[in-house]
Amino acid sequence: MQRLIIAILIFLFSATTLIGQEERDSSDARGAGIVQRSFKDTLPKPDTLIYSWKYAENSFIKLYAEFDTTLLSIQLPEAYRREWTGFVYLGNPGSAVQNTFFSERHDIEVNWQIKNFYPYLKTHKKQKFYNTKTPFTQMQFVSGGEDYEYFTFNHTQNYDKHINLGMSYEIFNSEGYLNYQSTRNRNFSFWTDIDYERYKMYGSINFNAINADENGGIRTDYLLTDSSVSVQDMTTKLSNANNRFSYFIAAIDHQYRLLNFGQDSIYKNGLWLSHHFSFDKMQRLYTDEGDEYTDPVTEEVFNFYANTYNGTRSYDTTSFIDYKNRAAIMFQSRGKTKIDMGPFVEHHQIKNTNFYRDTLFTYNNDTTYETISVGGQATIKKSDDFKVDLQTLYYPFQDYNYQNYQITANLVKWQKLWNDTLYMHLMLYHMEKTPDYLLGQYFSNHLKWVNNLQDENERKLQFNLRLIKSRFNLQFTVDHLDNYIYFDQNMKVAQHDQEIMMFGAKLGKKFTFFEHFNLEMSLMGQYTATDFIDVPEFSAKGNFFYKRQIKFKNTEGVIDLYGGFSGRIHTKYYAPAYAPAIAQFYLQDEKLIGNYPVLNVFVGARVKRFLFSLRFDHVNSGLMRGVSYYSAYNYLLRPRNLRFSVSWNFYN
Cα 32 to Cα 42, 214, 361: the distances in Å are 20, 48, 63
Contacts of residue 215, Cβ cutoff 8 Å, sequence gap at least 6: 178, 179, 180, 181, 236, 237, 238, 239, 241
The whole-number pLDDT of residue 493 equals 96
- Give the pLDDT score at 394: 97
> What does the pLDDT read at residue 565?
94
Q: Residue count of the chain, please give it.
A: 652
**CA distance linking residue 466 with residue 422, whole number of Å:** 6
Question: What span, in angstroms and rounded, lies between the C-alpha atoms of 52 and 399?
Answer: 40
Name the residue range of residue 350's domain: 1-651
Helix or strand (DSSP H, E) at 438: helix 437-440
Picking from 97, 100, 84, 107, the residue whose alpha carbon sits closest to that of residue 522 is 84
User: Helices marked H in 19-129 — which ranges?
Assistant: 79-83, 102-106
107-139 burial, b for 16+ CB within 10 Å, e for fewer? bbebbbbbbbbbbbbbbbbbbbbbbbbbebebe
Q: Is residue 405 predicted with pLDDT exceeding 90?
A: yes
For residues 24-47, give the mean pLDDT: 33
CA dihedral 63, 64, 65, 71 (to 10 degrees): 180
Q: Residue 8: which CATH number?
A: 2.40.170.20
Q: pLDDT tens digits for 166-211? A: 999 999 999 998 889 999 999 999 999 999 988 999 999 999 999 9
Tell whether the model's pLDDT for residue 383 goes beyond 80: no
- Cis previous bond, 536, omega within 30: no
CA–CA dist 139, 121 (Å, integer): 19
* Percent share of the chain, pLDDT over 70: 88
The per-residue pLDDT for 49 is 62
The region of weakest confidence among 17-31, 139-153, 173-187 is 17-31
> Of all helices (H) and strands (E), which one includes residue 9?
helix 2-18
Distance (Å, rounded) from C-alpha 127 to C-alpha 633? 33
pLDDT per residue as tens digits for the range 588-613: 999 999 999 999 999 999 888 888 99
Which helix (H) or strand (E) segment holds residue 17: the answer is: helix 2-18
Instruction: Report in angstroms the alpha-carbon separations of 82 from 73, 75, 87, 525, 620.
Output: 7, 9, 11, 18, 20
| Ramachandran category for residue 39: left, alpha or beta (phi over 0 → left; psi -120 to 50 → alpha) | alpha
Separation between Cα atoms, residue 596 and residue 506, nearest integer Å: 20
Residue 261 has pLDDT above 90, yes or no: no
User: Once rounded to an integer, what is the mean pLDDT over residues 261-269?
Assistant: 61
Percent of the chain with pLDDT over 90: 63
Number of compact structural domains in the chain: 1
Q: Give one DSSP letter per residue of 305-358, joined into a string.
A: SS--SSSS-EEEEEEEEEEEEEEEEEEEEESSEEEEEEEEEEEEEEEEEEEEE-
Give the pTM.
0.88
Going by C-alpha positions, the residue among 460, 462, 539 that lies closest to residue 501 is: 460
pLDDT reading at 20 higher than 70:
no
Cβ atoms of 410 and 439 closer than 8 Å? no
Average pLDDT of the chain to the nearest whole number = 86
pLDDT value at residue 235: 87
Determine the pLDDT at residue 36.
36
Say which DSSP state 225 is in: H
Confidence grade of residue 3 (pLDDT, cut at 50, 70, 90): low
Residue 68's pLDDT band, with cuts at 50, 70 and 90, is low
